[in-house]
Structure 1
């Protein structure tokens, strides 16, 4: 499709799952941009009636990232209005919650008799099963927001606790700041084509748990969320923290505990349910990253030592021994087997 670039994991071939899609109206003639954008949004997100004062030269970009059952969309748009009508709902309803984070510009949402006005850093929850009016006012030519699309059945919170939050401005303090940081990192990773298919399978539950903790807090600030989901949300954030720092040789349980204001002892207790110690989790993720890079044709000229160093292994002998213990071959042997099609 013109204007659309699909990103697969590095080294992927035709027929492999699509990780992310980037669409840009600037790839099309100005006269075709707005109609094409409306078609893409209706197909990939939720059908709405969209209008804009910039139809003659509509400049917008969208990043779509699939994470197992959920989806993340990052939109950069000019001033526009979207209306979800009862007719459109009857025609197509994916029955999803949509949690939007405003990153720039001013956003307004009208749902029934409630109205909300949001600025950068605010969240708002709405759903596909009820009418709404949405408008975004661009600042410096564009507004930007990231939307987390969650099937209703994916949230371990009862609807009678979540639905009162629909259409309400939700502040991003506490768990909201953690969720916002996670969403930002996912968009950056999608744009950089640095996510693999296994990464998305692992990150989907992480993002869901963070969203659950965030919505649970707003549904009942008096701790409505049970202890187990709260702990899982903390573990999920710690895993994201680890993922972003795998290349740092100084990453350790002490560093992780300090960053999350918990004791090392409590950190180890959290990981008892992960079937691995903290150190083992870090080592496994580093090895998985190295294995991925060793099998990537685009990195064929990069040395084994450089790949190991990229992911936090500073001693070649230790890396070779650890890699062989995990995969039954040295890094060099594994790379040769991949390149010759013997794996």
Structure 2
């Protein structure tokens, strides 16, 4: 499945809102600030599903993507982006560390955390976005490795691989072998991060394996309105206290993460053309939200607009 925004087809006064809506769909919720909001804003974004990951390409006039700590706290699904800069220097600040990334270089961003990313003038980048639970690595290892990837001997190979994915995103994503490419790409990303972190990962394997299994279990049962922490703990043969402990070590609130995952599924379904005539309440109920008022309040708090506004904005972006 592909999603494309090209502002050349959108009237100039509507481009700021169109880019913001597209960025919400393509990446993590953030504030989108344009270098010259009254000038010639232009952007082209593409998102292509690649197995359990996706390829996101973005070319635009000068832009700043500011994800605040408040926005980060509302998002319970960690996603890691491995991005190769294509045009202009990218500037990233995250966890009090800064880096300037010239064209042809790779950066790693924890999209679940706060960050400040920008470029000036006509810039472009292409990235592979991977849900954290697909990596099977401790989140602290990933965050530790993010600013150290250039030191890994795997850096040139992984950088070239992601650059190729970005250049040929549509063809690769729609190829019959895309699932194999996705698995190989995630394996390469995992190897790069482990190499960069130089960590004794074996010390946390048991706990992280459990957390990965819990995440997979929850994702498969999101539609069950009776999915609770107690039910999850019972299914894995552990105490509720142990479940909370494992989640706390990964900075994860299990209840908030379940709600976040359900909201993500509803939001995605609201963008599908073949679901446009299905009542929003029916879709919400399908993903475990029994109370429509509670669902609408949660959705607006997370995405900054009501479900009906999101559906309309997505339809307009497709048009």
Q: What band does the TM-score fall into relative to the shorter chain?
A: 0.5 to 0.7
Candidates 83, 95, 98, aligned match of 2:78: 95
TM-score (norm 1): 0.53
Tell me, in whole angstroms, the C-alpha distance in 2 between the residues paired with 1:46 and 1:76: 17
Which residue of 2 is the match for residue 39 of structure 1? Answer: 21
Structure 1 portions without partners, runs of 5+: 1-17, 227-343
How do 1:19-30 and structure 2 match up within 5 A? 20-30=2-12
Cα distance in 1 between the residues matched to 2:100 and 2:53: 26
Instruction: Assess if the C-alpha contact under 8 Å between 1:122 and 1:169 holds in 2.
Output: no
1:218-255 CA-to-partner distances (Å, cap 9, x unmatched) read 112xx9689xxxxxxxxxxxxxxxxxxxxxxxxxxxxx
Alignment match, 2:191: 213
- 1:198 CA displacement: 3.1
Higher relative contact order (CA 8 A, sep 6+): 2
Structure 1 Cα separation of the partners of residues 160 and 19 of structure 2? 27
Give 1:66's match in structure 2, choosing from 49, 66, 77: 49
Greater fraction helix: 2
Measure how far apart 1:194 and its partner are: 6.0
8 A contact 1:79–1:136 mirrored in 2: yes
Per-residue deviation at 1:169? Answer: 6.0
RMSD over aligned CA atoms reads 2.4
Distance change >3 Å, CA 101–CA 40, structure 1 → 2 = same
Matches of 1:54 and 1:26, distance apart in 2: 17
1:74 and 1:224 map into 2 onto residues whose CA distance is 34
User: 1:90 and 1:224, CA in 2 relative to 1: closer, same or farther beyond 3 A?
Assistant: closer
Q: Does residue 157 in structure 1 map to residue 137 in structure 2?
A: yes
C-alpha distance in 2 between matches for 1:76 and 1:172: 28
Distance 2:169 2:82 in 1: 19
How many Å apart are 1:32 and its aligned residue? 1.1
Structure 2 counterpart SS, 1:55: coil
Match of 2:62 among 68, 72, 79: 79
TM-score normalized by the length of structure 2: 0.57
Contact 2:7 2:42 in 1 (8 A): yes
| Alpha-carbon distance change, 194 to 48 in structure 1, aligned in 2, over 3 angstroms | closer
Residue 168 of structure 2 aligns to a residue whose secondary structure is helix
In 2, the alpha carbon distance for the partners of 1:135 and 1:216 equals 27
Aligned residue number for residue 183 of structure 1: 162
Listed as ranges, the gaps of 5+ residues in structure 2 are: 203-319
**Per the alignment, do residues 194 and 164 of structure 1 end up closer, same or farther by CA in structure 2, a change over 3 Å counting?**
closer
**Computing the radius of gyration over CA atoms, which structure comes out larger, 1 or 2?**
1
Aligned positions, number: 201
Partner-residue secondary structure (3-state), 2:177: helix
* CA pair 29-172 structure 1, distance change in 2 beyond 3 A: farther
CA distance in 1, matches of 2:90, 2:113: 18
* Change in CA separation of 1:202 and 1:36 when aligned onto 2, cut-off 3 Å: same
